[in-house]
A = this chain, B = another copy of it.
Amino acid sequence: MRILYLVPGSTGPGFEESIIERRRIILQGMATPGTLIEAKASGTGPLSIESMYDEYAVIPGAIEAIINAEKEGIDGVIMGCAGDPGVDGAREVVSIPIVGPAQASFALASMLGRKFSIVTPVDQTIGTSIDLAVKYGFRESLASVRSAGISVLDINKDPDIAAKLSLDAARKAKNEDGADCIVLGCMSLAFAGFDKVASKELGIPVINPAIASLKMLETLIEMKISHSKKAYPTPASML
């Protein structure tokens, strides 16, 4: 099984190709035997995604990359941003399963407790995180969205500070908002790799969206199941 971890956006100073290669290695390490992880950036748009403006800038290029991936025999794609940019649009134009890290994490969280909170990097992404949970049908399972207060590029520069700030936000979500499960709402937070430590510290599950996406995608591919074409119909222009 060939899985593409697609970073929607560009690489450059602050988000180098080496970061993607490091992520590929981590995912390969978590993959089931027989799964081959490929990873790349779509190559258009900004270096990091911290607004809807940023999301829209990366989506067309990312969808084109997914169309090509399907042609090249990729079995499924992880959209490598926890805003799940363009996942619905991509599903309209391909048959292979496309997993959004947020959606995969919410699904996983739904099996672990009653209410989850999302820890998102900056205040600017609180509202859009709520929109995402609502869009996916998890309004009643969402306890809160808390911001860690650190930009995406800074997370990659200083993962220890990111871990500390995320833990603080998660603790408030647990103690003040009623969360019994935490979803990390950012791929850079995911790959900072502190979820197991944070989970131990808090005493509740902390979901790593990178691993959640990988496992959910492997599940879909093994089950030979993909998104509903009634929900994501092929655009008329492509029929």
Contact = CB atoms under 8 A, between A and B. Distances in A.
B111 A104 contact: yes
A110 B105 CA distance: 11
Contact of A230 (B86, B108, B113, B207): B113
Contact of A135 (B30, B124, B134): B134
Contacts of A135: 131, 134-135
Interface in A29-57: 30, 32-34, 46, 48, 50-57
B92 A111 contact: no
Contact of A92 (B52, B59, B138, B223): B52
B92 A53 contact: yes
18 contacts: A32-B33, A51-B92, A52-B89, A52-B232, A53-B92, A54-B237, A56-B56, A110-B138, A111-B227, A127-B231, A127-B233, A134-B135, A137-B138, A140-B140, A181-B228, A203-B230, A205-B228, A219-B219
Given A56-B89, A108-B220, A114-B137, 12 more contacts: A46-B237, A53-B63, A53-B93, A106-B110, A110-B137, A113-B230, A127-B230, A131-B135, A137-B138, A204-B230, A215-B219, A218-B219
